[in-house]
Copies of this chain bind each other. A is one copy, B any other.
Amino acid sequence: MFTQLGIIGCGLMGGSFALAAKRAGIVKRVVGYSKSPSTTEQAKRLGIIDASAESALRAVAGSDLILIAVPVSAIEATFKAIRQLIEPGALVMDVGSTKRDVVDAARRVLKDRITSFVPAHPIAGKEVSGIASADATLYQGRQVILTPLQKTPAELVQKATDAWAAVGSNVLRMTPENHDAAFAAVSHLPHILAFAYFNSVARQPAGRDFLSLAGPGFRDFTRIAASNPEIWCDILMANREEILKQTQAFRHTLDAMEHVIRTGNADALEALIRSASDARAGWQMNAGTPGSAR
């Protein structure tokens, strides 16, 4: 399907895609570039890439599939670095957790090469990062959101869809705006709450003692608080408009719970809990496919 995959950014996401694409047989050769030469070397030693490139531009040369897997704040600079060598017909994708800023950057920088770009967001990850955590099964059974531009050729969007399907993902299409609103709600806000919650407990005088008593509910609730600070700082800054709408909505429901607790209104409290509990019990991961392109 592709002759050469160029990955820019040899971390968990890029490395896992390289492994999965090779295993699926959709790429013959993988060339990788990473800001840190020792990371690129490690990726080669681990057999995740076949050759290391000295620059992002060199990773693009001769590649008909290019995956930009760097933090969202570095995507615009990457576009600038690679623009010249994107060949007509090549497919360029990112894996960023926000899409409006990435599409804006693409419009600014890629100019006529923008028709090669299909913005992608795979809903997959781990709390650990780095090439050593790369995993050929990371994208299996996960959703991948594509937010193609109006002028993107339909056959290129299909190629992108096929590539993600080949590594085991379910592909959906949305607008960048809908994407960013949805992920502010279901991903970015939970991360903020988990970070804020952990800081809140850990910084109390008795915090250490408290934490030593925490059980499995706490463990699962706070798992995402261990996420990579650099990556998450980027995401939260890139999508801050939508995120601040979500924190606002959350404050209203938190206010409501606190109010009924403070005033001792047990019936109202139980109703609020039941509403959340029933909704969560009825939720299933990957159950719906709104706007699905499948």
**Hey, which bits of chain A sit against chain B, CB under 8 A?**
123-125, 127, 142-143, 145, 172, 178, 181-183, 185-187, 189-204, 206-230, 232-233, 236-237, 240, 243-244, 246-247, 249-250, 252-254, 256-258, 261-262, 264, 266, 269-270, 272-277, 279-281, 283, 285, 287-291
Contact = CB atoms under 8 A, between A and B. Distances in A.
6 contacts: A172-B213, A190-B222, A212-B289, A225-B280, A229-B273, A237-B266
A247 B243 CA distance: 21
Contact of A142 (B206, B215, B270, B279): B215
B280 A226 contact: yes
A contact face: mostly helix, strand, loop, or mixed: helix
Given A212-B289, A218-B285, 17 more contacts: A123-B215, A185-B204, A185-B210, A186-B210, A186-B218, A193-B254, A196-B256, A198-B279, A199-B256, A201-B249, A213-B290, A214-B285, A217-B224, A221-B223, A233-B270, A236-B261, A236-B273
B197 A182 contact: no
B185 A189 contact: no
A226 B192 contact: no
Given A186-B201, A200-B253, A261 B240 contact: yes
Closest 4 interchain pairs by CB? A212-B288, A186-B214, A123-B215, A233-B270
Which one of A124, A203, A208, A244 has the greatest number of beta carbons of chain B within 10 Å? Answer: A203
Tally of this chain's copies = 2
Contacts of A200: 189, 246, 249-250, 252-254
Contacts of A197: 189-190, 193, 250, 253
A270 B226 CA distance: 13
A249 B194 contact: no
Contacts of A222: 190, 280, 283
A279 B185 CA distance: 25
Which one of A127, A213, A274, A288 has the greatest number of beta carbons of chain B within 10 Å? Answer: A213
Contacts of A291: 209
Contact of A244 (B243, B258, B280): B258
B276 A264 contact: no
Contacts of A274: 229
Contacts of A262: 240, 244
A227 B274 CA distance: 9
B273 A232 contact: yes
Contacts of A249: 200-201, 204
Given A277-B195, A285-B215, A269 B236 contact: yes
